A and B are shown apart, each in its own frame.
Chain A
Amino acid sequence: MRKTISRNLPFLGLTTLILALLGGSCLPKSPGERGDVTITLYGFSVMKESLEKAIFPNFAAKWKQQHGQVLSFQSSFAGSETVTNQILRGAPADIAILSIERDVQRLQKDGFVTADWHSLPAHGIVNKTPFVIIVRKGNPKGIKDFSDLARPGIRLIHPDPISSGGAQWSILAIYGSELKKSEKERGEADAGRALQTLRAIWRNVISTPGSAREARTTFELGNGDALITYELEGLLMKEANDPVEIVTPQATIFSEHPAVVIDRNVTSAERPVIDAFMQYLWSDEAQQAFVKFHFYSSTNDAFNQANTAFGHIELPFTIDYFHGWDKAYPEVIEKIFRDQVQRK
């Protein structure tokens, strides 16, 4: 009796395994309500929490109330350039919230965005946030501004400008901050000093993760002394009781994030709910929700006062300081950063 069982055991084991695998052969149903209408939104990495925890559920509840339809959201988040590349290759996005205007222009160039997105409220900018430096609790390296990151021995985590919009904002923040400070100190912007600082800082970069969120995870795992990122990321980290501190530079850039409809992927049947959702993004309710998640509102400065955690920035500037992305990208990101800093 025993001999028969032990001889057949491997056969039984194999059969059980194969039957179990057969049982798992049906493609699973996706969890969550299968709504009547689905909106697919691709966003840059740090948008995840505010959208999934506040904007999506609030809008879905409103829509159900007004139209009786059950709305479900599909979302995917990555570095802004990565998201844009995915959409260009055919990812089924209805709406995209990106970090930099240049990514919208790339989508426009290939015919994915056909409407005039600037005609949306606040010129299509859904929220904004300044760029700050995150350091370890107690600030052991004594970092007070961007120029301190140029000191030898500082190890910096900085996302990859090729895939991350936040990385490009960061480069503009560093470069612009030096220009602004030299303007204030000596009356004229010193481009040479700005380039030198950028070069020295970039020499200290030890890792270039693909998105701002990945850079944050790398930093949280103990790598590096400092991280340049959106202020909202720093505030989310502090909310999660990470042992970090936020260093607000004297001068820094406010990143402005556009939201657009991918006209090519939206059918006329979906158009009403998509347009309604877009309008909702600029509603008071949504803007106040963004502020709760540490973004600055793009419609009403008064909302920003609700968030007492925002740092005070002495010399703020925006992309207008560089005369828009049309000038900033070729002149700063390409000519200065790519050709003179990265390649040296």
Chain B
Amino acid sequence: MSSVAPAMRHVRGFDVARPLSIGVLVFLMLPLVFLPLASIFIFGTSNGLDKFWAALTAPEAIFALKLSMATSFWATVFNVIFGLFAAYVLSRYNFWGRNALIVTISLPTAIPTAVAGFALLLLWGPYGTLGRLLTPHGFQIMFTAGAIILANIFVTFPLAFGVIKPVFDTMSHSLEEASATIGATRWQTFWHVTLPSLRGAIVSGALLTFARAVGEFGSTILVSGNLAGRTQTAPLYIFAKFNEGQIEAANAIAIVLALFSFLIFSVLFFARDWLDVD
């Protein structure tokens, strides 16, 4: 499944379809993916490496990157644990409303991220439906890092779940049943039998969620307050610098994010054999 299965040969001798197809594939990807990515790298270093380095080491830039990492991390932890739990419940139990729940879990990816941020503000903001009850007691999550984590949780909600549930669905019950017959408790079965089979799905779900959360913009810009050095994540920083006309600074951080995503997906790809467990 993960290695190349050689195509059946239609033609004896030289098959022109092969270089042609490969060429068309690369050619199509050039203007759509390769060149935009390359232009970030080329522009970022064209004004000299010293300016590039200065932009990277600006305290607000470093803060923005760290904030993105931290908020994405906690959103990922929550969504993976929740995804595991939800996949278990929705895969093992049948109940009225089960399908509606599965659809609802998948909804957040279809909603425009700006709408998601706006909805959170309407609910939890100082003048929001629930927020106005909490604010007098001193609890106000909007315009803090907590709001960014909340927005990330919403937007990346179905990602880990979507990777873990199919594994649950296709998992053979026989191992779990065997474990139960020799006297293991529900938790022991889960921890020693079920979880190891999910190892790959958990890791790839987590990395997917994390990568998506780091790049989140539309909801974050609404709920965070976008205060540089306080609640400004890396994508917000890039946008702010661009609007201020400081293109080099925006570019430097864009390169960091691009490299980071490249790293995540490279690791996912090269570790795919280890991640796939029968």
What is A's interface to B at a CB cutoff of 8 Å? 9-11, 13-14, 17-18, 21-22, 24-28, 30-32, 40, 45, 48, 74-76, 86, 89-92, 211, 213-214, 216-217, 220-221
Contact = CB atoms under 8 A, between A and B. Distances in A.
B230 A10 contact: no
Interface stretch (B3-11, B20-28, B65-73, B162-170): B65-73
B73 A22 contact: yes
Interface of B: 59-60, 62-63, 66-67, 69-71, 73-74, 121, 125-128, 131, 140, 142-143, 145, 203, 206-207, 210, 225-230, 242-245, 247, 263-264, 267, 270-274
A91 B210 contact: no
A31 B263 CA distance: 27
A216 B247 CA distance: 13
Contact of A24 (B70, B126, B273): B70
Contacts, number: 95
A56 B36 CA distance: 39
Sorted nearest first, the 5 A-B pairs with minimum C-beta distance are A10-B271, A31-B59, A90-B126, A28-B66, A24-B69
Contacts of A213: 243-245
Interface hub of B71, B210, B229 (most chain A Cβ within 10 A): B229
Nearest to B239: A214
Nearest to A264: B126
Contacts of B128: 90
A11 B128 CA distance: 46
Contact of A21 (B59, B142, B210, B225): B210
B167 to A, nearest CB: 17
Nearest to A52: B228
B273 A217 contact: no
B270 A30 contact: no
Given A10-B270, A21-B210, A31-B59, 10 more contacts: A17-B207, A24-B73, A76-B225, A89-B121, A89-B125, A90-B126, A92-B225, A211-B243, A214-B243, A220-B245
A27 B67 contact: yes
Contacts of A32: 59, 229
Contacts of A76: 225-228
A14 B203 contact: yes
Contact of A14 (B63, B69, B225, B267): B267
B256 to A, nearest CB: 13
Contacts of A22: 73
Contacts of B272: 10
Contacts of A31: 59-60, 62-63, 229
A30 B229 contact: yes
A48 B241 CA distance: 12
Nearest to A211: B243
Contacts of B74: 25
Contact of A217 (B62, B142, B245): B245
Contacts of A74: 227, 229-230
B70 A30 contact: no
Contacts of A10: 267, 270-274
Nearest to B68: A24
B70 to A, nearest CB: 5
Contacts of B131: 90
Contact of B271 (A11, A45, A75): A11
Contacts of A26: 70
Contacts of B274: 10-11, 14
A28 B125 contact: no
A25 B70 contact: yes
Given A31-B59, A76-B226, A17 B267 contact: yes
B69 A21 contact: yes
Nearest to B207: A17
Contacts of B230: 30, 74
B198 to A, nearest CB: 15
Contacts of B70: 24-28
Given A22-B73, A90-B127, A90-B142, A217 B67 contact: no
Contacts of B210: 21
A42 B267 CA distance: 42
28 contacts: A13-B271, A14-B267, A18-B203, A25-B74, A27-B70, A27-B71, A28-B63, A28-B66, A28-B70, A30-B63, A31-B62, A31-B63, A31-B229, A32-B229, A40-B227, A45-B243, A74-B227, A76-B225, A76-B228, A90-B125, A90-B127, A90-B131, A90-B142, A92-B143, A213-B245, A216-B245, A217-B242, A217-B245
Nearest to B59: A31
A28 B67 contact: yes
B143 A217 contact: no
A194 to B, nearest CB: 32
A86 B225 CA distance: 8
A217 B245 CA distance: 5
B244 A48 contact: yes
A14 B244 contact: no
Contacts of A214: 243
B196 to A, nearest CB: 14
Contacts of A25: 69-70, 73-74
A213 B127 CA distance: 30
A217 B243 contact: yes
B15 to A, nearest CB: 33
B66 A24 contact: yes
B119 to A, nearest CB: 12
Contacts of A9: 270
Nearest to B118: A89
